[in-house]
Structure 1
């Protein structure tokens, strides 16, 4: 007999435009999950891993919730397939299973699961996990689109597995060639060994930015750091972060921060503690 979890209330999620794929060979479980996750957005269903992969290829979901024991392709095989593919390894995957021993959970974590919940489960716990996973993904997208400050070299954000290795390579290449105004998407693709289309797709998935926007924003975040040093000329800063002219730098900087480099420097100077 199918064990359907009890739900006190549907969640009103702040992430209400998601695409969630529910994968389970039990129709009652799929229906229950669809009903209780509808507050997040559009929920589609698949009965096994093979059907799920076809769904993913047709329309990439924002998150996948999958049973472990299924015919044709089980949840662990589905997880391994998704995480070993550069086009799908960014998709968060939550596993649901009657197998809830430590060894079973470890099998899921080892293959790259982003969450693991044993059946029967408390639906509010699942809803909270979905919200947190999506929030983390959105924070990654925003990490290189604002003016958050870092000291020293610009560092890659916290990612998992293949994503982490790829972004490490990209950020290292940008850091190593920060002063080179000729560093562009074509050169970056050559250095990291990816096609332009693949790099563009991956950067959009992870950060919501094109590769050229990513390069520009890394340059400008470094400029923000250098502008805190009052003894460094603004034109010198512009060239040191790869801009070929100060007017171009000033225009890009104002678009990025909302204020000019001079205003930014003055603002940070006013905020600095005064020596007494």
Structure 2
């Protein structure tokens, strides 16, 4: 059974040194999600080096690498910082909750927990990410870093956006050039952009061009054909079709609606 919010199952990575807890969570979630089980933070981190996941659920107390260290490594690593992290713990003090959030966890759940509550937290985090994606993609004025969920992602997105803007008039602007200047492999950059924005790098470049076009249209200093040329579109009609498809209105309608 697929979720209401996704065309395919999202992948949930579990980390807990108690097999019965892993099985308990997996049995409850496996109808809606693809479930990966690991026994500690290091094992989970090793899995992430070569596989994509959409959300992490981790215990705090584990051997080899505990949940606090695991969460810190995830949130401080540009390659993984976008992944929502739910921390499970038997500690029920306010200080332990504060610590969990300070380490970067997106949610903190006490053991014993209700399976329905965990399900709701997972669905909420994934749904909120989807809504952020949709708002950014369909709102001309929404900046790229508005889709960031933490400081690491914000820094990454600002650097990426600056790079795109500096080369925006180049029709040849593509993922290979971005990857070279971001010092990332092409597959890694593609994966990072896709997860953060739900867009491919080329789609992100196109959306950035269209958002710049919306700003230029409101400033009123350039005609449509000049904007198309300035932003690397092959023809004014190509620009107009893209603008209409992305924002649901023509460039002229957009300007008229903002006056």
Instruction: Compute the TM-score of the two structures, normalised by the length of structure 2.
Output: 0.81
Q: Alpha-carbon deviation of 1:75?
A: 1.3
2:42 maps to 50
Q: Alpha-carbon deviation of 1:84?
A: 3.3
- 2:102 is the counterpart of 1:110: yes
2:16 maps to 24
1:209 maps to 199
Find the aligned partners of 1:52 and 1:182 in 2 and give their Cα distance: 39
More helix by share: 2
- 2:141 is the counterpart of 1:150: yes
Q: Which one has a bigger Cα radius of gyration?
A: 1
Deviating more after overlay: 12-21 vs 37-46: 12-21
Find the aligned partners of 1:97 and 1:238 in 2 and give their Cα distance: 54
Q: Alpha-carbon deviation of 1:33?
A: 1.4
Unaligned runs of 5+ in 1: 1-11
Superposed, which structure 2 residues align to 1:5-24 within 5 Å? 13-15=3-5, 17-24=9-16
Instruction: Compute the TM-score of the two structures, normalised by the length of structure 1.
Output: 0.77
SS of 2:57's equivalent?
strand
Residue by residue, what CA displacement relative to the aligned partner does 1:1-43 show, whole Å, maximum 9, x if unpaired? xxxxxxxxxxx95246221122222233222212222343222
Aligned mate of 1:67, from 55, 59, 70: 59
Count of residues in Structure 1 that have an aligned counterpart in Structure 2: 256
1:165 maps to 155
For the 8 Å contact 1:140–1:206, the answer to whether it is kept is no
Alpha-carbon RMSD? 3.1
Task: Flag the 1:165–1:122 CA change in 2: closer, same or farther, 3 A.
Answer: same
SS of 2:141's equivalent?
coil
Q: Alpha-carbon deviation of 1:191?
A: 4.5
1:131 maps to 123
Superposed, which structure 2 residues align to 1:249-260 within 5 Å? 249-257=239-247
